């Protein structure tokens, strides 16, 4: 069942649901499992930092959204680093298999 925009806004008002649209894709579950502990921590920290930089604040009682100028903005270099982090690097098994196939070819 897909909600219309008006129904979704009504539901958000009742249950205090927040919709967060990120300008980048999140890693899949398989990509996360392929990472080691420190790489997963780096991805988690990068996502948290991105959410903080995207989020806006609303002072109590105000209808105006305010951006915090001290928050770092998402840049192309950040996005490139993030994409390189979530894309799995070639495994040693795959590299060894490619080397053995090259040796077998005459």
Average pLDDT value for residue range 87-95: 67
Write out the two tokens for 9: 């806004």
Q: What is the pTM of this model?
A: 0.54
Each residue's pLDDT tens digit, 32-54: 888 889 889 999 998 888 887 77
Position with higher pLDDT, 2 vs 67: 2
Single out the residue of 50, 35, 37, 21 nearest to residue 86, CA to CA.
35
What is the percentage of the chain residues whose pLDDT exceeds 70?
69
Write out the two tokens for 46: 């990068």
Separation CA 52–CA 72 (nearest Å)? 9
Mapping DSSP to helix (H, G, I), strand (E, B) and coil, where does residue 57 land? strand
Confidence of residue 59 (pLDDT cuts 50, 70, 90): low
* Contact call for residues 53 and 74 (beta carbons, < 8 A): yes
Residues in contact with 19: Cβ distance below 8 Å, sequence separation at least 6, in sequence order: 8, 12
The pLDDT, as a whole number, for residue 17 is 65
């Amino acid at each position: 069942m897909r909600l219309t925009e008006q129904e979704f806004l009504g539901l958000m008002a009742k249950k205090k649901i927040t919709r967060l649209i990120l300008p980048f894709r999140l890693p899949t579950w398989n990509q996360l499992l392929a990472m080691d502990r420190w790489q997963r921590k780096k991805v988690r920290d990068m996502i948290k930092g991105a959410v903080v930089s995207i989020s806006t604040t609303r002072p109590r009682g105000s209808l105006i959204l305010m951006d915090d100028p001290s928050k770092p903005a998402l840049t192309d270099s950040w996005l490139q680093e993030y994409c390189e982090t979530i894309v799995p690097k070639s495994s040693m098994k795959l590299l060894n298999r490619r080397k053995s196939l090259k040796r077998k070819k005459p």
